[in-house]
Structure formats: C-alpha cells, structure tokens
Chain A
Amino acid sequence: AQKITQTQPGMFVQEKEAVTLDCTYDTSDPSYGLFWYKQPSSGEMIFLIYQGSYDQQNATEGRYSLNFQKARKSANLVISASQLGDSAMYFCAMKGLDSNYQLIWGAGTKLIIKP
C-alpha cells in the first residue's frame, strides 16, 4: 500500500535559517510523483514543488528544493533563508502510476519561524 510519513508534527526555526522538513514514502509503483504543499492559516493549499521518480536531478523552485533520495524513499523539503511568511503547515503528497490523479497525503508538519 502507498503511504506518506511526515515524522515532525511541529518545528520552530529562527528566521533566516534553513529548514528541512522530512518526508518518507512507501510505494511499489515504478513511476510516481512527489509533491509539497504549503497551507497557511488562511487554509489555502499552495503548490510548492514537484519531483518525479525518474528525475535525475533534485527539483528546485526559488528558495525551495527537494532532497530526493530514491533508495531511502525520502523526499525532504528544504527551505533556504526562512522568512516569517514561511510559517504554515506543510504537506508531502504522492501520486502513483494509475492513481487517476489521486494523491496520498502525509499528516503534515507545522513550521513556525521565530523572529
């Protein structure tokens, strides 16, 4: 069965520091996609970054990068130079080969950036 595990319920990080949010996954599909979303207190889900299972390089989007370690089945999100506006819930999700677009979601990590 497919599963996403986020082991950090919450994190406090000092402003301007880098932060790594952990995500491990379990799937038997040879092809899959991994996503990270940000959910601020307003509730909207904001797409941050995508990593395909066959992508050779780690995905990057501005201050966001994905540390993809396929053998370890991990897809950690790295936020560089954190800002107060980064305070939010962060969810890791996975799409399988024949999932009809459905996503499997992690429990989320609440990130709080301290000034």
Chain B
Amino acid sequence: GAVVSQHPSWVICKSGTSVKIECRSLDFQATTMFWYRQFPKQSLMLMATSNEGSKATYEQGVEKDKFLINHASLTLSTLTVTSAHPEDSSFYICSAPSTSDYTDTQYFGPGTRLTVL
C-alpha cells in the first residue's frame, strides 16, 4: 500500500504559540490530502480538504484562520495551528487517496498528538 508520513509524532507547546504539522506522501503523488481531528474514544472528524495549488476547503465550524493549510507540492501538505490554546489539544491525522487503483483508498499518516499547556 501507499505510504504517508507525518511529522512530528507528538508535540507539546505553550499556549499562544503556533505549531506546524507536515504530511507527506512518500511513494505517490497526492493532489488532495485530508486533515482530521480525533478526540479520545471518538471517530475521525474531517477538518479540511487540502488541494495542491489551490486553497483548502474547510468543513463547517472549522476556523480557517486558526488552522492554516498549505499544499505546497504534490507530496506535501502542512497544517499550522496558530496561537494554539489548550482546547486545541487533540490527535491530528492526515490522509491521502492513492490513485493507483480504482478504489481511491485513503492512506493515513501515523498522526500527531498535540498538547497545548
């Protein structure tokens, strides 16, 4: 299957600072990537769709100025949590659909656990 990496795996930061999370497709190109947020014991919540070369599409209720997404190349999307606060603490995970077959299966990065103090 396709491989997606995500960095960092975990980060602890002080309130008010910004945190950047990288998502890379290692062995395939991804014009689209997805960013999810997951609270403990809950399912994935789609935050936004990242599109290479254009603006991201945010889901209703997600603050675009808070969660900045940049899809700089066909293999890299970044999520920046700006002016992070304790309520932003969560597990963030990205995915990219592999277009190598007709299933469009999404492959996920290992996730980033963010703790804001």
Contacts and interface: CB of A to CB of B under 8 A. Distances in A.
Interface of A: 33, 35, 37, 42-47, 50, 52, 91, 95, 100-103, 105-108, 110
Interface in B31-90: 32, 34, 38, 41-44, 46, 49
Contact of A43 (B34, B91, B102): B91
Interface of B: 1, 32, 34, 38, 41-44, 46, 49, 91, 93, 95, 97, 102-111, 113
A50 B95 CA distance: 16
Contacts, number: 53
B2 to A, nearest CB: 9
Contacts of A106: 43
B105 A107 contact: no
A50 to B, nearest CB: 5
A100 B92 CA distance: 21
